[in-house]
Structure 1
Amino acid sequence: MTNPVPQTLVTIGEAERRAVDRVLRSGKLVQGEEVGAFENEFSKAVVADRSCVAVNSGTSALHLGLLAAGIGPGDEVIVPSFTYAGTANAVRLAGAKPVYCDIDEKTYCAAPESVRALIGPRTAAILVVHLFGHPADMDELVSLAEGTGIALFEDACQAHGATWRGRPVGSFGTFGAFSFYPTKNMTTGEGGMIVSGDRALVEKARLLRNQGARKAYDHEIVGFNNRMTETAAAIGRVQLQSLAGWNEQRRSIAKQYSAELTNVRVPSVGPNVEHVFHQYSVRVPDGVDRDQVREELRNRQVGTGAYYPVPCHRLAPLRAPVDLPVTDAVSSTMFALPIFPALGREDLLRVAREVNELTAPTG
């Protein structure tokens, strides 16, 4: 019997366990020296020395970032519909309206021409998503934001270490947000990071994550309990040391997949881009049922994921009557293959063979 190949696998080792034990022995469990050190180390390693504010999830990072940037009721924020619901949820939680743009058929990120067509009198910002680890077209989107005088924010929750023209994602917009959910390229168990070069935004975000207070019982604004724990930060500090190497392994796995797969549409990598392959997502050809392929792969002990079978504009709490033909086409034909640093060559080749067989032309 063949061994199962999971779609993703969290890498946790003895170094992470020792770090957690160190924190537990200290008795200091929330928002202390580990969190501060993690913020500083993430700043230097990932986002070109931008200031960092650690929080308890990627959605919190987006939500607090939007609030700290002044987004609220009456504002519209342009977002791609082809993303995790947390992106649009954060806009709604800030009191603003998500306005859905279509995606580029090669990168699956926001299509600049679709964004441009949606800018109106209430547009306050563009919230781009660097989906699956591929940066959005920051040349076009930065130019568009600057030319229209609206803000640009970055959802980099899947793109730790990705770059556009050598510049790291998260360092372009007024703020960027990262997630450390277990399946991400690095994890803290659960957690997020707000990054920004705007000092006032950073200070507001620090207040918002801690009940509106800089020090105990001195509450300056209404805030949230969105702090990161010391144990999460300790795990993150260890994981951060391996991030660059893990990203390189993901790129190597992606290159091997793309060489072996024959019938599906493999991911594109744009020029001047450093892709970090949070997911390796493929599209089935016309006439092939994506869900049937996934079911048969499951039967053959190969894990897959569908990201995202229902785009945001079709989800009940976020629904909007918009026509997004590329989003609809991609969401019904795409699925993700196993990708994680420990994926071995033998398992990779087995996955590719199974996918090739199940998507082969008939007749």
Structure 2
Amino acid sequence: MSPDILPLSAAALTTAPVPLIDLVEQYDEIADEVRAVVDRVLTSQKFILGEDVAQFEAQVATYCDARHAVGCASGTDALVLALMALDIGPGDEVITTPYTFFATASCIHRVGATPVFVDIDPVTFNLDPAAVDAAVTSKTRAIMPVHLFGQCADMDPLWRTAVRNGLPIIEDAAQAIGSSYGGRQAGVLGTMCCFSFFPTKNLGGAGDGGMVTTDDPELAARLKRLRVHGDVGRYEHVEVGLNSRLDAIQAAILSVKLRRLSDWTAARQNNAARYKKLFDASGVSEHLVFPATHPACGHSYNQFVVRIEDGRRDDVLKSLQAQQVGCAVYYPKPLHLQKCFEYLGCKQGQFPEAERASAESLALPIYAELGAIRQERVVRSLAHALDVEQASPVYSIPVRKAA
């Protein structure tokens, strides 16, 4: 056996709790650098926009291969700003998914437009391109696909629909920095792309933060204006915008973390591959459905989500929680069934794949520092929750040591 391959053993297994995500381990790795840049910003007393934000914007633009990046206060504001920059408002429709975080649709509502939901592809959890094409009307002003859980939506057919109808595409990539489609990074797959730097994202700050990327210089200029109340300088306001600026401390911290993002993404991808091998070795695979990765996509695994059918998901969730293994449901109620969107007139059963995903999906730990030992504990606990009879108490696989 190669010296850099370490097989696990029964003695290596732990009964310690496994959290769904552990930000402390990530911080311990970079604590000195983070404290240094925070201290530098505090010493400068320059907290809003400024050089740190401009530098981080340039770094994200380079990372995504985008011409422009505009920082703002949150991923939610990024979506709102993108819609405002396109003059989308009352009377307009934006096509999106009902199986996503609330902000995707709430931002459409906030600018006065109407979210138009279409069902998802059951294999990837992302928008069904054929359903999007069928939903376009004379009122449609944009398409807003979500790169859910770190996997990009199927962009080629969405772009064909967009071009045929003269529509922009706003990528909701809140969970997908580091993801790719057709060899191109999320961030340059649409007219504009919106990122979130919420702490639990793959690139997470020490609070809220967001960014919009685009190749369009006019949209970039307007986004920069809109984030500061529509001010073009010297208190000259040419339109009504928002107060949505990225803090310099957040930008400085995120710059430190961006340098490690590719390595962290690779670690998440390695964890996902290891899960699949462990599931096969343990017999758990026969009791789960794995959403497939689109062949054009490079998945960044903000979440690792499986499906548990036959109405067993909630029982499995409770069992894992009792065994102190972190897990979560994304998302327990699709947006078309939320009370605040009753005015849209959607009914139970209208989007069956989104509803089925909400009833069957379960997220397991996937953070970069998780490691093989804790992953084996997750799989053993899942086998117990599913009443899987295990032929052997240990079903470890070789694990390559980190460089």
Residue matched to 2:222 = 204
Is 1:286 the counterpart of 2:310? The answer is yes
Gaps of at least 5 residues in structure 1 are: none
Q: Secondary structure of 2:232's partner?
A: strand
Q: Secondary structure of 2:145's partner?
A: strand
Q: Secondary structure of 1:194's partner?
A: strand
Question: Which of 18, 34, 42 is residue 5 of structure 1 equivalent to?
Answer: 18
Aligned letter for 2:239? Answer: I
Residue matched to 1:265 = 289
CA distance in 2, matches of 1:136, 1:57: 22
TM-score by length of 2: 0.87
Question: Which of 121, 124, 130 is residue 104 of structure 1 equivalent to?
Answer: 121
Greater Cα shift, 1-10 or 332-341: 1-10
Alpha-carbon shift at residue 266 of structure 1 (Å): 2.2
Q: Secondary structure of 2:38's partner?
A: helix
Is 1:276 the counterpart of 2:300? The answer is yes
Alpha-carbon shift at residue 216 of structure 1 (Å): 4.1
Greater Cα shift, 315-324 or 115-124: 315-324
Residue matched to 1:338 = 365
- What is the RMSD of the two structures over their aligned residues, measured on CA atoms? 1.4
Question: Which of 323, 332, 340 is residue 309 of structure 1 equivalent to?
Answer: 332
Is 1:19 the counterpart of 2:37? The answer is yes
Alpha-carbon shift at residue 357 of structure 1 (Å): 2.2
CA distance in 2, matches of 1:350, 1:257: 11
Q: Is the 8 A contact 2:187 2:193 kept in 1?
A: yes
CA distance in 2, matches of 1:301, 1:361: 19
CA distance in 1, matches of 2:311, 2:110: 40
Alpha-carbon shift at residue 218 of structure 1 (Å): 2.3
Q: 1:160-179 alignment to 2 at 5 Å? A: 160-179=177-196
Residue matched to 2:143 = 126
Residue matched to 1:328 = 355
Residue matched to 2:5 = none
Residue matched to 1:92 = 109
CA distance in 1, matches of 2:190, 2:311: 40
Q: Secondary structure of 2:305's partner?
A: strand
Q: Secondary structure of 1:215's partner?
A: coil
Deviations 1:101-132 (A, max 9, x none): 11111111100111112111111111000000
Is 1:256 the counterpart of 2:274? The answer is yes
Q: Secondary structure of 1:99's partner?
A: strand
Residue matched to 2:54 = 36
CA distance in 2, matches of 1:287, 1:9: 29
Q: Is the 8 A contact 1:210 1:227 kept in 2?
A: yes
Alpha-carbon shift at residue 287 of structure 1 (Å): 4.2
Q: Is the 8 A contact 1:284 1:359 kept in 2?
A: no
CA distance in 2, matches of 1:216, 1:313: 44
Residue matched to 1:195 = 213
Identity %: 38
Q: Secondary structure of 1:213's partner?
A: coil
Residue matched to 2:67 = 50
TM-score by length of 1: 0.96
Residue matched to 2:395 = none
Deviations 1:131-161 (A, max 9, x none): 0010111111011111122221110111101
Deviations 1:253-278 (A, max 9, x none): 00111122222112311212111000
CA distance in 1, matches of 2:59, 2:277: 36
Q: Is the 8 A contact 1:187 1:235 kept in 2?
A: no
Q: Is the 8 A contact 1:264 1:359 kept in 2?
A: no
Deviations 1:75-113 (A, max 9, x none): 000000000000001101111000001111111110011
CA distance in 2, matches of 1:17, 1:304: 31
Q: 1:342-353 alignment to 2 at 5 Å? A: 342-353=369-380
Alpha-carbon shift at residue 286 of structure 1 (Å): 1.7
Name segments (4+ residues, structure 1) moved above 3 Å: none
Q: Secondary structure of 1:332's partner?
A: helix
How many residue pairs were aligned?
A: 360
Aligned letter for 1:5? Answer: V
Is 1:70 the counterpart of 2:87? The answer is yes
Work out which of the two has the higher radius of gyration on C-alpha atoms and give 1 or 2.
2
Q: Is the 8 A contact 1:88 1:318 kept in 2?
A: no
Greater Cα shift, 118-127 or 351-360: 351-360
Residue matched to 1:359 = 386
Q: Is the 8 A contact 2:66 2:213 kept in 1?
A: no
